[in-house]
Amino acid sequence: MQTTPQRFLPLDVFRGMTVCFMIIVNTPGTNDIFAPLEHAKWHGFTPTDLVFPSFLFAVGNAMSFSMRKYQQMGNASVLSKIFRRTLLIFLLGFLMYWLPFIRTGADGHWEFIPVSDTRILGVLQRIALCYCFASLLIHYLPKKTLWIVSAVLLLGYWAIMYAFGQPGAPYELQSNAALFLDKFIMGDSHLYHGEGLAFDPEGILSTLPAIVNVIGGYLAGLYIQEKGKTNEGLTRLISTGVILVLIAWLWNTQFPVNKKLWTSSFVLNTIGLDLLILSALIYIIDFKSKTGWTGFFTVFGKNPLFLYLLSEVGVIFLNFFMIGSVTAFAWLNITIFQPVASGKVGSLLFALIYMLFCWTVGKILDKRRIYVRV
């Protein structure tokens, strides 16, 4: 994602806020977490559920600037750029889940982690796939057609989930079509097991509606460039956001809002909320000219994928290295953060300090004008 010009500072801040909060919610010190900082267990919605779709929305925002140069390029060059970037981001995600490549075996000795035990899909992989398909759609289709494609993706996903899920319980954890497809194509060992069983919240089928989050961000980015600084533009952004949220919760009665299934109602809810957040940022930054606070978040916005990767890889290695009988991650929390503030507060304190560490790295890179492009 490229850093946008100063006159579109709200988009930069939005992207930076997304990365900042993604790091916070992904790195609690313990499993004792304040409820708003946890994902919904299944159906439902928490503020944390907004973070990842907002990142996809921000990818779309950035594409509203970057895709313009593709219009002057030949098909071969366009496809090469899109597929190369897709492959690189996907590979980074796969390698991240494979890290640290070795583990302690049953006999107490180091052993290589086989590829057969490695999760194939995940956060970066979904970003890669959504970027790929959204880029192709945006480049080859007229803007009006993108609305139709988005509707087809959302309604089609609903139809598939209903038709191919278990009758009577098509949207439950162990009886949904998304799980059936993932198991059939990838098998249990390549799926996420964080729910206590094989189920991947970033699976194959649920990637289809997630593409709409990117398209929504792209269309919003275009509109903000055209009319974002006008009263009419701001009013329309707010009204569209409110309407989408209302439709989402009406749809929730038939197709529940669910982040782990990435339901169509979840997509509309998150796009609507993102539009409302962007509207607030535009009002504060552009209409009221209050920009003194924005620098903190733009640091994250200038190296978003790199800082996200740094945060994830850092936690992986903190959990790999041992201090005595516990991991370095656990040692930091047991020795420092929990004595300072026990329970949920100490857990949040660790996440905040860790986020500030990542921000410091980003600030150093920014001062040296180093921007890692993927």
The per-residue pLDDT for range 113-151, each reduced to its tens digit, is 888 888 999 999 999 999 999 999 999 999 999 999 999
In a domain, 103, yes or no: no
CA 348/CA 32 separation, integer angstroms: 9
Does residue 33 lie within any of the structural domains? yes
The answer as to whether 9 is a domain residue is: yes
Instruction: Tell me whether the omega of the peptide bond preceding residue 100 falls within 30 degrees of 0, making it cis.
Output: yes
Task: Decide if pLDDT at 5 tops 80.
Answer: no
Are the beta carbons of 308 and 19 closer than 8 angstroms? yes
Reported as a pLDDT band with limits 50, 70 and 90, residue 7 is: low
Share of the chain above pLDDT 90, in %: 84
- Is residue 360 included in any domain, yes or no? yes
Residue 206, domain member (yes or no)? no
Mean pLDDT of 3-22: 82
Q: What's the pLDDT band for 68 if we cut at 50, 70, 90? A: confident
The pLDDT-based confidence of 1 (bands split at 50, 70, 90) is: very low
374 pLDDT above the threshold of 90 = no
Residue 28 domain flag: yes
pTM comes to 0.93
Q: Let me know: does 138 contact 222? Beta carbons within 8 Å.
A: no
**Residue 3 covered by a domain:** yes
Number of domains observed in the structure of the chain = 1
Closest residue by Cα to residue 9 from 288, 352, 219:
288
CA 85 to chain centre: 17
Q: Is residue 330 part of a domain?
A: yes
**12: containing domain:** 1-38+293-374
